[in-house]
Amino acid sequence: MSKLKSSSSSSMLLPPLLLSLLLIVPTFSTSRKVLDENHHEGIIRVNLRHVDSGKNLTKLERVQHGMKRAKSRLQRLNAMVTKKQSQFSKSEELDSDSESESESSSSQIQSPIHAGNGEYLMELAIGTPPKSYPAILDTGSDLIWTQCQPCSQCYKQPTPIFDPKKSSSFSKLSCGSNLCNVLPSSSCSSGGGGDSEGCQYMYSYGDYSVTQGVLATETFTFGSSKIKSIGFGCGEDNQGSGFEQASGLVGLGRGPLSLVSQLKEPKFSYCLQSIDDRKNSVLLLGSLPKTKNAKGAVTTPLLKNPMQPSFYFLDLQGISVGGTQLSIEESTFELGNNGSGGLIIDSGTTITYIEENAFDALKKEFVSQMDLPVDNSGSTGLDVCFSLESATGRIEVPKLVFHFRGGDLELPAENYMIGDVNLGVACLAMGSSSTGMSIFGNVQQQNLLVNHDLQKETITFVPTQCDQV
């Protein structure tokens, strides 16, 4: 099979058949070992499974399924942004207000909105003796939770519901515990109860999905590695969509409740296989893998957004298509004082969504540089598609580069151009964001080792064959 080749500094050449079948070889060398031989030392390894794995779907169909699921996630993100902006506006208008004080002292648990759901499942075991459960991986929220007995309202899950009475290591947390105090909402903080029932929590995901129960600690097992006293939500009332393939969710956000924040070393990495690859992706917890001869590695700082503290915001300064930098406002991807805007990296969103003016410029540039007719049928659900019916020989695909503070990330073509032989189209796997906030999705992160270092507050992208990690 031919590799992608650069015909110039601004474009890539690939045969149309390979494009349509999606059998595209990455631009980085497959023979080079990216990681040290001892890279597993001190690292907890967890296999990740895409939610559509095992289904007979093309790559484009998998992207379409992910986009449908993303509607719910984008709705949640939009609700979060809107709510935070509203709170910011009110806080500027009101220095102190007795009415708002009385509302906050209500005994009802009020729950902030979080991202929730995701595209990847991880296997873990809970309790002593350990019981295995699949859980959703989510880098956009913090709380770890699973459905628990006795369950007043639970959705149907693929495994038996966890029964804390059958675990010798289960322990409820009190209202005075550190983790209870950092909950965004609990019965303790709202004055709804003391320690008799422990620390009762409620965690909402913006589309009426919610988990409610008691905060506790347990022993979690990942492969052969056991971690004691992990704080998690034992959910006795769980409702909503997007959770059905799992028993719960593992939050890997930046907040103190997340799994990564509860580890001794707040660091993790993941390497996502191509969305149509049958092989498992991988999550590495604890120490970051040691990279060796990591050609093409890009390190960029994490930005803090007090309004959205769980998200991993990156400093995106521009985008180039085929060597042409898009003519967009310098402030397009900046974080606003009210927490609006910016760009997050998110494993739970399938394709990348960028601010609508920037996307319009991106679309215009791709259309001008692709030597193919535009497909306006709308059959794929993606905004920018090209017809392959008249394609002969090799097709030039403009290079796509994201200019982050600290370095330029050039993506291989299969991370942004997706074809379908049956439909006879090739589509750009990106979309427009109407919220102002941009999202760097998981298709663009394929075959990249993405190192999150919460101590140094950086993210590093390392071009990697994920089956070698």
Banded pLDDT at 125 (limits 50, 70, 90): very high
3-state helix, strand, coil in the chain (%, to 5): 15, 35, 50
Residue 206 has pLDDT above 70, yes or no: no
Name the token pair of 74. 């984008």
Q: What is the mean pLDDT of the chain?
A: 82
Element counts in the chain: helices (H) and strands (E): 6, 29
8-state DSSP, 445: G
Do 48 and 283 meet the contact criterion of CB atoms below 8 Å apart? yes
Residue 319 has pLDDT above 70, yes or no: yes
Residue 72 has pLDDT above 60, yes or no: yes
Residue 218 has pLDDT above 80, yes or no: yes
Name the token pair of 101. 């004080």
Architecture label for domain 110-187+198-264 = Beta Barrel (2.40)
What does the pLDDT read at residue 9?
Answer: 58
Query: What are the boundaries of each domain within the chain?
Result: 59-77+290-463, 110-187+198-264
Q: What pLDDT, in 10s, does the model give residues 322-362?
A: 999 999 998 999 998 888 899 999 998 999 999 999 999 99
Do 308 and 85 meet the contact criterion of CB atoms below 8 Å apart? no
What does the pLDDT read at residue 17?
Answer: 42
What does the pLDDT read at residue 427?
Answer: 96
* Triad 457, 458, 460: Cα angle to 5°: 160
What does the pLDDT read at residue 20?
Answer: 42
| CA distances from residue 9 to 317, 386, 393, 397, 427 in whole angstroms, order as listed | 20, 22, 20, 12, 22
Residues with catalytic annotation?
Answer: 138, 346
Name the token pair of 168. 């010798």
Burial of 256 (0-12, 13-18, 19+ CB in 10 A): middle
Q: What pLDDT, in 10s, does the model give residues 401-430?
A: 999 999 999 999 999 999 888 889 999 999
| Percent of residues, the chain, with pLDDT higher than 70 | 78
Banded pLDDT at 229 (limits 50, 70, 90): very high
Name the token pair of 51. 């939610």
Q: What pLDDT, in 10s, does the model give residues 132-173?
A: 999 999 998 899 999 999 999 999 999 999 999 999 999 999
Segment (H or E) for 408: strand 407-411
Residue 121 has pLDDT above 60, yes or no: yes
Residue 14 has pLDDT above 60, yes or no: no
Shared fold status for 59-77+290-463 and 110-187+198-264: yes
Position 322, amino acid: G
Residue 88 has pLDDT above 50, yes or no: no
Tell me the CB-side half-sphere exposure of residue 290, using CA atoms within 13 A. 8
Banded pLDDT at 370 (limits 50, 70, 90): very high
> 112 or 285: whose pLDDT is higher?
285
Residue 107 has pLDDT above 70, yes or no: no
* Closest to 176 measured CA to CA, from 186, 168, 167, 166: 186
What does the pLDDT read at residue 239?
Answer: 87
Which residue shows structure tokens 């070889």?
25
What does the pLDDT read at residue 185?
Answer: 75
For 5, phi then psi, to 5°, come to -125, 145
What does the pLDDT read at residue 81?
Answer: 58
Distance, CA of 17 to CA of 394 (rounded, Å): 9
Residue 397 has pLDDT above 70, yes or no: yes
Do 147 and 157 meet the contact criterion of CB atoms below 8 Å apart? yes
Specify the CATH number for 59-77+290-463; select among 2.60.40.10, 2.40.70.10, 2.40.30.40, 2.40.30.170.
Answer: 2.40.70.10
The region of weakest confidence among 119-123, 166-170, 214-218 is 119-123
